Amino acid sequence: MTRMNYVRENVPLSRFGVLVAQLESIVASASQKSPDPLLCFDLLSDLLTALDDEPKESILLWQRKCEDALYSLLILGAKRPVRHLASVAMARIISKGDSISIYSRASSLQGFLSDGKRSEPQRIAGAAQCLGKLYQHFGRRITSGLLETTIIATKLMKYHEEFVRQEALLMLQNALEGCGGSAAASAYTEAFRLITRFGIGDKAFVVRIAAARCLKAIANIGGPGLGVAEFDSLATYCVKAGVLLCYLLLVAFFLKALEDSVTSVRDAFAEALGSLVALGMNPEAQVQPRGKGPFPPPKKLEGGLQRHLALPFTKGQFSHG
């Protein structure tokens, strides 16, 4: 169906149309007055409710205007509750309307985040959260952009604000889970490098938790690319040993992370370690990445439960309760 970039004349406004018009008005006046967070939150909540009841024909009439207004609100620097609802609304309207716009919206968000100029942190966080939400719902349709998204996440990890670094890894987690194991091997290699080099050792515990969830996501989608991961100075050994050595190296990282002083960080890494060891013990579940090979065949992590889960505790390795 052809996209409608205008509202037909003589068509009465639905509740959804009225809400979109109000959102456009708020965004248009933002140069004179910053949008009120409570007003935006209430408006977006009503917008999501109206979307559930709106027929597709009516959604198509307002879709482009709604998407544009949501995008503008996000890059204005909305606070976290508002940008969460705006991101959910963006994914919802694309899902219920003409889904072809997923490509242009994902591309525009990537373009904004890739801009060489250092943007205001709230604006960056809003765009990152929205892009992650789109990957969560449409990841299999935009797998070709996973590498670029991972590179963007690496760039965002350089921000001083911990909430930006957290949003970068949450975006990456959604992208990994949304794409599954169907993207190019280089995307997973870059993601693995980012998580282990910057995420695990971050000074902020919320960022370390996000890093653990990214590793769990990699395990849950079958660990694509782990066998050829460049692991700093251990890259050569990873390539020679294949998947198995990468699992062992990851486990070493996890065991160190399980000594973290923050309980929620230890819990997050414990979940990720369990997923990883389970994957290592089940070669049939290991996903072979796309791209130029050859890739090492899947291997079973021998003695996984005893060696990597039981022994560290029976030997009294951990001091935290």
Give the pLDDT confidence of 68-99 residue by residue, as tens digits.
999 999 999 999 999 999 999 999 999 999 99
Residue 131 near residue 97 (C-beta atoms within 8 A): no
Contact partners, residue 132, CB within 8 Å, separation at least 6 = 87, 167, 170, 171, 172, 173, 174, 175
pLDDT in tens, 44-63: 999 999 999 999 999 999 99
Does 74 share its domain with 167?
no
Domain boundary among 99, 127, 159: 99
Residues 200 and 316 occupy one common structural domain:
yes
State the residue range of the domain holding 79.
14-99
Same domain membership, residue 164 and residue 229:
yes
Asked whether residue 137 is domain-assigned, the answer is no
Residues 86 and 165 in one domain: no
Q: Which of 73, 99, 125 represents a domain boundary (last residue)?
A: 99
Look at residue 185 in the predicted model and tell me its pLDDT. 85
- Same-domain status, 165 and 60: no
- 304 and 188 both lie in a single domain: yes
The answer to whether residue 265 scores a pLDDT higher than 80 is: no
Domain count, the chain: 2
135 within domain boundaries: no
The pLDDT of residue 270 is 62
* pLDDT the model gives residue 60: 95
Q: Residues 167, 316: one domain?
A: yes
What pTM was estimated for this model as a whole? 0.75
Q: Which of 36, 67, 99 is the last residue of a domain?
A: 99
Task: Specify the pLDDT at position 283.
Answer: 59
Nearest Cα to Cα of residue 85 among 35, 119, 121, 120: 35
For residue range 208-253, what is the model confidence (pLDDT) as tens digits? 889 888 888 887 887 776 643 333 333 332 233 334 444 554 555 5
In this prediction, residue 33 has a pLDDT band, given cuts at 50, 70 and 90, of confident
Are 151 and 94 found together in one domain? no
Residues 153 and 87 in one domain: no
Q: Is residue 5 part of a domain?
A: no
Exposed, middle or buried by CB within 10 Å (0-12, 13-18, 19+), for 300? middle
pLDDT of residue 238: 29
